[in-house]
Amino acid sequence: MWDHRLQAGSYIFMPPDPAKGHAALRRGRVSLAGATYFLTICTNNRGAGLTTPQLARSVLDELRTMQTDEVWSVRCAVVMPDHMHLLIELGVKLCLGKAVSRLKAMTSACLRAGGIDWERGFFDHRLRTADDILDVLLYIYLNPYRAGLCARTESWPWFHCHPDDWAWFRGYLNADRPPPEWLAM
């Protein structure tokens, strides 16, 4: 890593700081079975292409397979061109890091065929029991609308919601679509 401060007309080499980077994000984190996590998983260099039908189906199919295998329960997910958001309840079979690694491993061949790859690491936030899940569900659901990827009158094809959550969440929508005031926020 280079420190770009000039000193006597030359660059100073600064050794990497072990307190920074992906490892720092993991420090102090725990993986709890039964806990609810909000995850963001990005493509390498934010390369677009996840929403090509074959890739998006592959990712969503693997999410469902992992649910069947009791790795996690997917409460809500959206696939965007260069990232995806998930709201999951972690199962008992794998820790969170291993679960995300499995998702990436099982979908990476399909992604590479489409000319993209997963970014190393992921971002997670464990929801506490007092946290309102509606806020996270809204964020995930509205992501493609706010990014201008679809009109308010359309449904984003790469959104998935667990039937139990969809049963109460759809009551907030207009004909399964966001009310106009949501997009003005």
pLDDT band for 183, please (50, 70, 90 cuts): confident
Residue 84 lies in a domain: yes
- Rounded to 5 degrees, what are φ and ψ at 106? -75, -15
Confidence of residue 178 (pLDDT cuts 50, 70, 90): confident
Domain span at 99: 29-173
Residue 17 predicted with pLDDT over 70: no
Q: Which residues of 3-19 are buried (b: 16+ CB within 10 A; e: fewer)?
A: eeeeeeeeeeeeeeeee
Amino acid letter, residue 24: A
* Average pLDDT estimate for 46-61: 94
Residues 59-118: tens digit of each pLDDT:
999 999 999 999 999 999 999 999 999 999 999 999 999 999 999 999 999 999 999 999
Query: What are the pLDDT digits (tens) for 112-165?
Result: 999 999 999 999 999 998 888 999 999 999 999 999 999 988 999 999 999 999
Considering the domain boundaries, does residue 89 fall inside one?
yes
Name residue 74's beta-bridge partners. Answer: 88
Is there a domain that residue 14 lies in?
no
Residues 6+ apart with CB under 8 A from 140: 38, 76, 77, 78, 85, 86, 87, 159
Torsions phi, psi of 50, nearest 5?
A: -60, -25
Per-residue model confidence (pLDDT) at position 148: 93
Residue 5 banded pLDDT, cuts 50, 70, 90: very low
Number of domains in the chain: 1
| CATH code, 127 | 3.30.70.1290
Look at strands 36-42 and 123-127 and give their pairing: antiparallel
Residue of 154, 153, 151, 182 whose CA lies nearest to 169: 182
Is residue 12 domain-resident?
no
Asked whether residue 47 is domain-assigned, the answer is: yes
Nearest to 151 by CA among 178, 176, 181, 184: 178
The verdict on residue 183 lying in a domain is: no
Can you give the pLDDT at residue 36?
Answer: 95
126 DSSP β-pair partners: 37
121 part of a folded domain: yes
Per-residue pLDDT band at 13 (split at 50, 70, 90): very low
Q: How far is CA 157 from the centre of its chain?
A: 16
- Domain presence at residue 6: no
